[in-house]
Amino acid sequence: MATQIDPAPVAGTRPRHVAIIMDGNGRWAKARRLPRVAGHKQGVEAVRRVTRAARDLGLEVLTLYAFSSENWRRPVEEVRDLMGLLRHFLRAEIATLVADNVRLRVIGDYRALSDDLVALIDDALARTAANTGPTLVIALNYGAQAEIAAAARRLATAARNGAIDPAAIDEASVEAELTTHDLPPLDLMIRTSGEQRLSNFLLWQAAYAELLFVDTLWPDFDAATLAEALDIFSRRQRRFGGL
Ligand code: IPE
Ligand code: IPE
Ligand code: MG
């Protein structure tokens, strides 16, 4: 389907859409003989810093992996701590997001979270929906395989109902069913803490994203680390299968 592939942008450009797998909070805490939750708290500070930096650096979309659909496998106390921090973050940050003209988006099955969190999220989404500035996407209870399976389910239902022809299903039809369908293409995926895997994050969207694995632990990530990542991106040559 060559027709739907954008021509390769020239090197030296700035990414429009950056995603970050925020990893290493636990190791940050362990290195300081602190409980893991202390690392998650510092991780929230990093989210604040990096969200601001992304805006200052002119990114259109910053997508942050905050809680995966597999993170429920963690001990209940840790899940509770993470949800508590999310609650605190939403309450504390909503005014800033509104003031900064940031549009909040959530991907993932956040409706499976506790009722009060769902209400907080819905409120934050509603209050920032009309904003026209950069978009902050938070992935909550997100799994890329589940996202793709849900897209397949909807297409299958539409085909069964006769609304679409199965033979006409192509990449664009699947893409249109993803939660990211109206966002600019993912340009750069960063993972912190030295791990080199995607852990079920944006698998479809990462097809031609540049991948960057940095050793920095998430709580240490700051504006300078982000600026450095953008600099590395600007020197990558993207070919999208062409020459
Ligand atoms: C990332 O830090 C935060 C979440 C996954 C929610 P981790 O908690 O995975 O930190 P490490 O990998 O144990 O260091
Ligand atoms: C990925 O980190 C999920 C988030 C950052 C939210 P994990 O720490 O959960 O990933 P694995 O388990 O090491 O692959
Ligand atoms: Mg981890």
Per the DSSP assignment, residues forming a β-bridge with 105 are: 137
Residue 108 clears pLDDT 70, i.e. is over it: yes
* Average confidence (pLDDT) over 7-20: 78
- Average pLDDT of the residues in 111-140: 98
Judge whether 180 and 107 are in contact, CB under 8 Å: yes
Per-residue confidence band for 121, with pLDDT thresholds at 50, 70 and 90 = very high
- Model pTM? 0.95
State in Å: Cα 14 to ligand 1 middle.
28
User: Which tens digit of pLDDT belongs to each residue from 56-74?
Assistant: 999 999 999 999 999 999 9
pLDDT of residue 2: 45
Mean of pLDDT values over 167-178? 98
Matching residue, tokens 């793709």: 148
Ligand 2 is surrounded, with C-beta below 6 A, by 21-23, 65-68, 71, 195, 197, 199
Confidence of residue 11 (pLDDT cuts 50, 70, 90): low
The residue written with tokens 């362990």 in the block is: 30
- Digit-coded pLDDT (tens) for 18-59: 999 999 999 999 999 999 999 999 999 999 999 999 999 999
Find the angle CA(140)-CA(64)-CA(50) to the nearest 5 degrees.
Answer: 140
| Cα 122 to averaged position of ligand 2 atoms, centre (Å) | 25
Q: Indicate the CATH number for domain 17-142+186-234.
A: 3.40.1180.10
Catalytic annotation on 71?
yes
For residue 189, count CB atoms less than 10 angstroms from its CB and return exposed for 0-12, middle for 13-18, buried for 19 or more: buried
- Among the atoms of ligand 2, which is closest to the Cα of residue 195? 13
A 10 A CB-CB count for 234 gives 12
pLDDT value at position 4? 53
| Closest ligand 2 atom number to CA of residue 71 | 9
The reported pLDDT for the residue numbered 33 is 98
Q: Which of 23, 81, 141, 187 is catalytic?
A: 23
